[in-house]
Structure 1
Amino acid sequence: MTAVPGQSDKGSAGINIGGSVTGNVQSGSHARAEYHQFGSVSAASTESSEMVKQLLDAVTALRTQLQDLQASSPNSLSAPEVQIADEALQDLEEAVTPSGEADQGRIRRAVFTVTGALTSVTSLVAAVEALRAAAAPWF
């Protein structure tokens, strides 16, 4: 959200707020807004960072198994399947910001892409399932 004091789209004094709002919205010269946050921020961020760590661990494990499979059985996957899976795994890693927050939409798309690209390889089923389990909080 962006608030710009003293500016509005009609040129009068006020505050403009842009972004997504869920819930009731009031307007007018006597309208008020309050923000309440429930729960512990530190507990939520600790839980979130643990989920992100599990997701990144699952990505690393799947990437390692994919590389091992390519080395031992190069014809088990086509080059496009490997490229698609590798790009999706990289997108999963990039979907997590340094602060530990994760982009839900990017995670979902990447997990679906990896699952689709690698579902036919029986030796990777356990690693793909572990990735899906680790990404479950974002679904």
Structure 2
Amino acid sequence: MKKAILTIAIAVMGFTAAFAQDSSRTSRKQMPKMTAEQRAEKATSRLEKKLSLTADQKSKIYAVELENAKKMEAWRKTDHSDMKGKMNERKTAMKEQKAKIDAILTADQKTKMEAFRAEAREKGGKMRKGLNRGDRTDKAPVEG
């Protein structure tokens, strides 16, 4: 009788521990598949809101973004065996895109764009650091 109760208690504890994990947190929401045109339109509209673009600027930036989106789509479909070379190629393409966009913008818009880019770099840095979970500068070292 004691063995049966003990076995049931262990089984209940095991099932409780197994199902206590919140699986909804680990599953990521699937991003919708967008075409290159949709990606370019989304990026252009975001810049239009942030920088108050004129109609001419909007059409030029859309062309730059569309070209970039098509490059990215092709890059995703290619073989990723030479990742270092591909990453250097991607960095070069990003610099070219930045230069093209900066050539279209006015001085005031460039200032806003730089602030926007700095904010994005800061957010990216926080994401790479694990959402500030590893930041332990405020704690004193433990002495033994």
Q: Could you say which structure has the larger radius of gyration? A: 2
Shorter-chain TM-score tier: 0.3 to 0.5
TM-score, normalised via structure 1 length = 0.33
Instruction: Provide TM-score, normalisation by structure 2.
Output: 0.32
**Bigger fraction of residues in strand:** 1
Bigger helix fraction: 2
